[in-house]
Amino acid sequence: MIRCYMAADKVAGFGHQFIRALIPPPPEGPESPQAQPGPRIMHGPDAAEFQALRRKMETEWVHQMMQTLDIEPESLPIVWDADFLYGPRDETGADTYVLCEINVSSVFPIPDEASAEIAKLTKERLLACKMP
């Protein structure tokens, strides 16, 4: 599974994790070490292996979601994520992705690289607020 961490409409990082719940349980049983999820490997937004996913998120999918749900960019959560499973490889052999879920609460931990973008966006939104 690939978790795409978002700061509003920009990718702030990725988490990559092998989900054992999606494969048959090992003969040792569900509590065995072999049945436990693998570690989540965190990556910054520039991780080479996820650039196709980043392009899709930032140039297509987030904008389509905003249009479908009638959400303005400034109304997007500052911190949210979308989880993807691998889809079938395309005709060139490149990975494709299938949306699994979108999370707006309990998004942490996040990649270290995501903090700066989240802080920047928070500051921008606070400065944009009109005080009475």
Q: Which amino acid is at 30?
A: P
Residues 91-117: what's their mean pLDDT?
87
Distance in angstroms (rounded) separating the CA atoms of residues 106 and 78:
13
pLDDT confidence bin for 18, thresholds 50/70/90:
confident
Residue 9 reports pLDDT greater than 70: yes
pLDDT confidence bin for 131, thresholds 50/70/90:
low
Alpha carbons within 13 angstroms on the beta-carbon side of residue 2 total 25
Residue 107 reports pLDDT greater than 80: no
Instruction: Write down how long the chain is.
Output: 132
Is residue 30 packed enough to be buried (19+ CB in 10 Å), middle (13-18) or exposed (0-12)? exposed
pLDDT of residue 132: 61
Residues 31-36: what's their mean pLDDT?
77
pLDDT confidence bin for 106, thresholds 50/70/90:
low
Where is average pLDDT lowest: 53-67, 80-94, 117-131?
A: 117-131
